[in-house]
Structure formats: structure tokens, C-alpha cells
Amino acid sequence: MPITPTDKIWMNGEMVDWDRAQVHVLTHGLHYGSGVFEGIRAYATDDGPAIFRLSDHIARMFDSARILGMELPYSHAELVDACKQVVAVNGLPSCYLRPIAYLGYGEMGLNTLPCSVDVAIACWPWGAYLGDDAVTKGVRMKVSSWTRHDHNTMPPAAKTTGNYVNSSLAKVEALNAGYDEAIMLAPNGLVAECSGENIFVARRGRLLTPPLSAGALEGITQSTVMRIADDLGFTTVVDNVARSDLYVAEEIFVCGTAAEVSSVNSVDDRPIPCPGPMTTAIAERYQEVVSGRVDGYEDWCERPV
């Protein structure tokens, strides 16, 4: 999706003009995928923009860095504050934020130990990731021929830049075959997640979602959805999901910061009832929660400076 430029990007502690936020072609992260990142949304609320679960996203970025053995040169509080400043300085009512930490310029080769770590945070307006009618009409999913990486290959729990080569292979394969998005299976054949979302599959009235151990990212939207589902009286279970669960599901939805809650209308051309009643209720409540309209969720709506 095309990027709409904004004014400023935070780079290593400074606000830099959008066009000047550049890196050298010999930046380590560009060559070896040695970076960790986050995707966060700020939503318009009655009191101005609120960054949804900002602290949790930054905490996960630190976890990703720990898995890689990368030391971030800023504290959690500093990066939370920097994200807030980026939203404030660009003056957007709502936007998508992309914090990224990557190994910088100065060292080449696979020994990452001497490398410097650079951090940048950009934001821009980003619309519906899977299309404007992804909730009502649903998306067409394909089980990918590409396997999600194993825990001992590229840890799927770390949101590393390099991991996304695997996601892009799956996404482009699905698009070229006429589908909207790919479902990825783990090496053991169980459902892991989608190229850029977690998945919920309704079976016998309960919503199943695969665990981290099945190769899924510990999705922040996934955990938001579980709390919303609980509030609405739906049962969610973190458990293994088999490929055949997909084909006989009562409803399926995918969720992520970018995709929000999007319903699925078919998997491998087998129709799935869409939009399902649980999906519709959860997707509506999700929009109310992120825009600060539901009591009890205020702590998740973090205000910029």
C-alpha cells in the first residue's frame, strides 16, 4: 500500500524531516534482515488521538530484541515517549506508527556483536489493510504452500524484519492465485497464523486461536479480542487448530493492528459463513474500544504529549 508522507520521523533521538530520514546502503539491517519492529495504530477519539496499547507494543519490541540478542539503546519509557511525540508533531487525527530498531552502518558480516543499533519511528495515515469491506464481505484465504518458520529456524515470536520474507512469499502467492491473504501452517502442519494477522476459528460455538508454540506472533490484537470476546460472553480458547478445523468452521476472522478485525468468507474456496455473529459483534466492539468509547479500556488508549 502506498505511503503518504508526513512531516517528521524520529531517528535516534531527533525529529528529522521525512525526506531526510535515510540510511546508508551498507546498513547491516538492509543486508541481513537484522531488525525488530512494531506496527501500532493511533485512533481519533473525542479527546484527540490515542495510541492503542502503545506500552504493550513497545514491550514486545524489547522482547523481539532480546530474542535476537540486540540491545536497544533507549529505555521502554523513552521509546513510548518518542512514539507520542511523533504522533503529536505530525498532527494527524489517526495514523499507523512504525517503530523499528536495526543494526546500523559500520560493520559488515554475520557477527552482529560489534554492530550499532539505530532506532527510528515513523507514522503515516494507513487505511484498511485488507480492504474497506473486510468485515462485512470478508476476505478469501488460501492455505499457503509456504511453511511458517520453525522455532529453531527463525523464532516466529520475534517481530524481526527478516521474518517477513516468509510472510511476503505467502502473501504474494495468495494474491497471484486470486486470494486476499494467506494462512500459514507450522512445520508440524498445524495452523500458525496469517502473513500479517492472527486467526480465530469458531468451532462448536467456541473461538479457537493458535498459541505462540504453534508459530504465531503473540498478537496484541489477539489478546484485545480475547478480552472483548469475554466481555461479550463468547468463549475463546488458545489451542491448536488443524487445517480441517478451517474447512468446517462456523466462522473465521483474522486480526492484527493493521487489519483490525476482518472476517473470512472462504478458505481454499470452501465457503465459510460470513460475516459470522461473533465476528460482527467483536469487530464492532473493537472499533468502539480503540476509539475510547468503552469504559474499562481507558488504560489502553494512550494519549500523545
Q: Does 215 bind ligand PPE (CB under 6 A)?
A: no
Nearest partner of 255 among 143, 153, 140, 135, judged by Cα: 135
Q: Does 220 bind ligand PPE (CB under 6 A)?
A: yes
Residue nearest to ligand PPE (CB): 39
Helix axes 220-231, 277-290, angle to 10 degrees: 110
Quick note: the x/- pattern for ligand PPE over 140-179, rule CB under 6 A, is: ---------------------------x------------
Q: How many residues bind ligand PPE (CB under 6 A)?
A: 15
With CB under 6 A as the contact rule, the residue among 6, 90, 221, 262 that binds ligand PPE is 221
Q: Among the candidate windows 67-75, 106-114, 194-202, 236-244, which touches ligand PPE by CB under 6 A?
A: 194-202
Residues 6+ apart with CB under 8 A from 247: 267, 268, 270
SS3 235: strand
Backbone angles phi, psi at 246, to 5 degrees: -65, -45
Q: Does 51 bind ligand PPE (CB under 6 A)?
A: no
SS (H, E, C) 29-49: HHHHCCEEECCEEEEEECCEE
In the complex with ligand PPE, which residue's Cβ is closer, 140 or 171? 171
In the complex with ligand PPE, which residue's Cβ is closer, 65 or 259? 259
Q: Does 35 bind ligand PPE (CB under 6 A)?
A: no
List the grid coordinates of 192. 500458525
CB 177 to ligand PPE: min, Å: 19
Report the C-alpha gap between 97 and 214 in whole angstroms.
27
Q: Does 257 bind ligand PPE (CB under 6 A)?
A: yes
Q: Give how far Cα 85 sits from Cα of 49, 91, 245, 292, 299, Å.
A: 12, 10, 44, 20, 18
CB 134 to ligand PPE: min, Å: 13
In the complex with ligand PPE, which residue's Cβ is closer, 10 or 37? 37
In the complex with ligand PPE, which residue's Cβ is closer, 200 or 234? 200
Nearest partner of 20 among 172, 122, 161, 125, judged by Cα: 122
Q: Does 193 bind ligand PPE (CB under 6 A)?
A: yes
In the complex with ligand PPE, which residue's Cβ is closer, 198 or 279? 198
SS3 173: helix
Report the C-alpha gap between 290 and 224 in whole angstroms.
10
Q: Does 198 bind ligand PPE (CB under 6 A)?
A: yes
Q: Enumerate binding residues for ligand PPE (CB under 6 A).
A: 39, 167, 193, 196-198, 217, 219-222, 256-259
Which residues are designated catalytic?
159
